[in-house]
A and B are shown apart, each in its own frame.
Chain A
Amino acid sequence: MTWLRLNWPQVLQLVGDHLALSLPAILLSILIAVPIGYLAVRLRWLGKPLLLTATLLYAIPALPLLIIIAAVFGFSLRSPETMIAALTIYGVALLVRTAADGFDAVDGFVRDSAIALGHSPLVIFFKVDLPLAVPVLISGIRVVAVSTVSLVTIGALIGVSGLGFFLTDGFQRGILGEVVTGLLASVALAGLLDALVFAGGRAMTPWVRVVDSQPKLGVAK
């Protein structure tokens, strides 16, 4: 606690750095994985290879992945860009399958009737498929958010600034307070993001929770 009292400006600074890496990676993961998941469902022949590739991406160990990204995109190994790209790849790998499941679960009757009413394919995606997949997408995004925040800590190993710094630095210098602070701050951040995503999901899906307390008017059954 003494350590935290003396060092809280640095804690805030590193929380900021940590978010600056996690948030773009989480957003990019969503923006990339959701359309891929949709394609995997709508184009059946493409579905299997797409989902398999996504799963394989997750199997690449972190350090080689960072090195490959740095080499391929020409980023410096220790740059935030490299870190964000790696986190995004893991995020996409985690989310694609859930996104596909979410779109797959949209009721065929509802889709058919939306088509029959004259929604174009693009409008169906934005007004029917996407909102109806939100509950499942949210569960996937929560996993991505938590996993991304915890993965950012390994950035410290290659010298990218984040809460992981307290873990490596605290270990090296034998300061328990620093290690505990880094750990707790990272877990708290993950929990906070998870709660925000959950709350956002609830706000977007009022129809999921309608309690049928009102009496049904008119004809029975």
Chain B
Amino acid sequence: MIEFETVSKTYPDKTTAVASFSLVVPSHRIVVLVGSSGSGKTTLLRMVNRMVEPTAGRVLIDGEDVRDRNSVTLRRSIGYVMQQGGLLPHRNIAENVATVPMLNGVSRRQARAQALDLLERVGLDKSLWRRFPSQLSGGQQQRVGVARALAADPNILLMDEPFGAVDPIVRRELQDELLRLQTELGKTIVFVTHDINEAFRLADEVVVLREQAIVAQQGTAAEIMAAPANDFVRNFIGTEAADRVLSTQQVNGKTLAVDSYGRPVGLLQ
């Protein structure tokens, strides 16, 4: 369980990125923070692994203030996936995946063997292990990023727009893969995105943020879709409103779902 207790962050240049934010992330759940660029999502995520120290408030993991933990060992116990992979360009794929176990002193051989298993686990061919990151596609790199984050078997996974830089079809595949992995692994995941559809697809719980990480609404995808709390949320999900507001139409005895332009988008049963 991760708890944000009224955390704030004002950077040295006086930018207030987060103004008093509170949230409980229950264990084994995917909580998605969704908001536009600059709303403070990355800042919040990095408070968990102490890459950002809050200027007020605190973050607790299983009841313990992260400030009482050594920052380096804390980070090794938390998986982190970022946009554009952030893979080490000078290390091959196996070495990248094995990074944290190696830092923790696991033998090279054991870390390698484990890395190969992880590659398969995230849907990659083992034979890719010798390549350098630049020799993989964007989607493959993100999979390696996920494998690397899982390598030390952390309880917590922080994901910062991990699928933001890949094309929509690959993004969809990666989202499916993450959901499949999560049913097996049951990690506590904080996932950050600016894509409301991605949030609705992945989240057990969605937190819609406005500027300075002010919570506009929090709830399941269904709750938020059914009852947007305010105009901000309505606008935020509204870009897709035409696809999202569906009605039914009878055609040849079947019930079709139709979007607000009258285009059939599905079949009701």
Q: B-contacting residues of A (Cβ < 8 Å)? A: 107, 109-110, 112-120, 123, 128, 131-132, 205-207, 210, 212, 214, 216-221
The reply to whether A119 and B103 contact each other, CB–CB distance below 8 Å, is yes
Measured between beta carbons, the chain A residues less than 8 angstroms from B170 are: 219-221
The reply to whether B138 and A221 contact each other, CB–CB distance below 8 Å, is yes
Chain B contact-residue range equals 35 or more
> What is the distance, in angstroms, from B161's C-beta to the closest C-beta of chain A?
12
A218/B134 contact (C-beta < 8 A), A116-B82, A117-B76, A118-B75 known? no
Bound-complex Cα distance A107 to B133 (A): 14
A110/B89 contact (C-beta < 8 A), A116-B49, A118-B75, A218-B125 known? yes
A207/B89 contact (C-beta < 8 A), A117-B103, A119-B103 known? yes
Apart from A109-B86, A216-B137, A221-B139, what 14 extra A-B contacts exist at CB < 8 Å? Answer: A112-B51, A112-B86, A113-B86, A114-B88, A116-B46, A116-B82, A117-B75, A117-B80, A118-B76, A210-B131, A217-B124, A218-B125, A218-B139, A219-B140
What are 24 A-B pairs at a CB distance below 8 A?
A110-B87, A110-B88, A112-B86, A113-B85, A114-B86, A115-B51, A116-B49, A116-B80, A117-B103, A118-B103, A128-B88, A131-B90, A132-B90, A205-B90, A207-B89, A207-B134, A212-B135, A214-B135, A217-B125, A218-B125, A218-B137, A219-B137, A220-B139, A221-B166
Query: Which of B83, B87, B131, B166 gathers most chain A CB within 10 Å?
Result: B131
B window 67-88: CB within 8 A of A: 72-77, 80, 82-88
B interface majority secondary structure: mixed
For A213, give the chain B residue with the smallest CB separation. Answer: B135
> What is the distance, in angstroms, from B252's C-beta to the closest C-beta of chain A?
37
Bound-complex Cα distance A110 to B134 (A): 13
B64 at the interface (CB under 8 A from A): no
> What is the distance, in angstroms, from A199's C-beta to the closest C-beta of chain B?
18
Bound-complex Cα distance A112 to B83 (A): 11
The reply to whether A113 and B137 contact each other, CB–CB distance below 8 Å, is no
Measured between beta carbons, the chain A residues less than 8 angstroms from B49 are: 116
The reply to whether A110 and B124 contact each other, CB–CB distance below 8 Å, is no
The reply to whether B140 and A112 contact each other, CB–CB distance below 8 Å, is no
B128 at the interface (CB under 8 A from A): yes
Measured between beta carbons, the chain B residues less than 8 angstroms from A107 are: 89
Bound-complex Cα distance A131 to B132 (A): 14
The reply to whether B90 and A207 contact each other, CB–CB distance below 8 Å, is yes
Measured between beta carbons, the chain A residues less than 8 angstroms from B103 are: 117-119, 123
Measured between beta carbons, the chain A residues less than 8 angstroms from B124 are: 217-218
The reply to whether B86 and A207 contact each other, CB–CB distance below 8 Å, is no
Bound-complex Cα distance A112 to B124 (A): 25
Measured between beta carbons, the chain A residues less than 8 angstroms from B123 are: 218
Measured between beta carbons, the chain B residues less than 8 angstroms from A207 are: 89-91, 132, 134
Measured between beta carbons, the chain A residues less than 8 angstroms from B125 are: 217-218
Bound-complex Cα distance A113 to B87 (A): 7
- A117 interface neighbour in B85, B99, B127, B166, Cβ under 8 Å: B99
B window 128-186: CB within 8 A of A: 128, 131-132, 134-140, 148, 158, 166-167, 169-170, 173
Measured between beta carbons, the chain A residues less than 8 angstroms from B134 are: 207, 210, 212
B196 at the interface (CB under 8 A from A): no
B209 at the interface (CB under 8 A from A): no
Query: Which of A113, A123, A214, A218 gathers most chain B CB within 10 Å?
Result: A113
Measured between beta carbons, the chain A residues less than 8 angstroms from B100 are: 117-118
The reply to whether B135 and A210 contact each other, CB–CB distance below 8 Å, is yes
Measured between beta carbons, the chain B residues less than 8 angstroms from A131 are: 90
The reply to whether A116 and B75 contact each other, CB–CB distance below 8 Å, is yes
For B138, give the chain A residue with the smallest CB separation. Answer: A221
Bound-complex Cα distance A216 to B144 (A): 14
Measured between beta carbons, the chain B residues less than 8 angstroms from A109 are: 82-84, 86
For B83, give the chain A residue with the smallest CB separation. Answer: A109
Measured between beta carbons, the chain A residues less than 8 angstroms from B148 are: 117
